[in-house]
Amino acid sequence: MRQFFTGHVIKTELLVEWLAKHGIEARQEWVDPSAPDDGDLSREANVLVPEADYDRAYQLFFAEREDEI
């Protein structure tokens, strides 16, 4: 697995679901696993994707959309 994105859990949960809809099995893990899981939506988390899917995930998420110009 390769780190793809780091951000607040509210964003990372959405990203994991969005990637799954595109056939990429992403995983979320806490930046600080020792912090209590108190439901804080601003807690930092990492999104990991399989190495084989990293380039595709990058293109889907970060590449500029030419059809939006």
Any domain includes 15: yes
What CA–CA distance (Å, rounded) separates 4 from 22? 15
| DSSP β-ladder status, 27-30 and 44-49 | antiparallel
Domain count, the chain: 1
Tell me which H or E stretch contains 35.
Answer: none
Residues 6+ apart with CB under 8 A from 56: 22, 24
- The model's pTM is 0.85
What pLDDT, in 10s, does the model give residues 19-69? 999 999 999 999 999 988 888 889 999 999 999 999 999 999 888 766 554
- The range of the structural domain enclosing residue 3 comes to 1-31
- Count other Cβ atoms within 10 Å, centred on residue 63: 8
Any domain includes 55: no
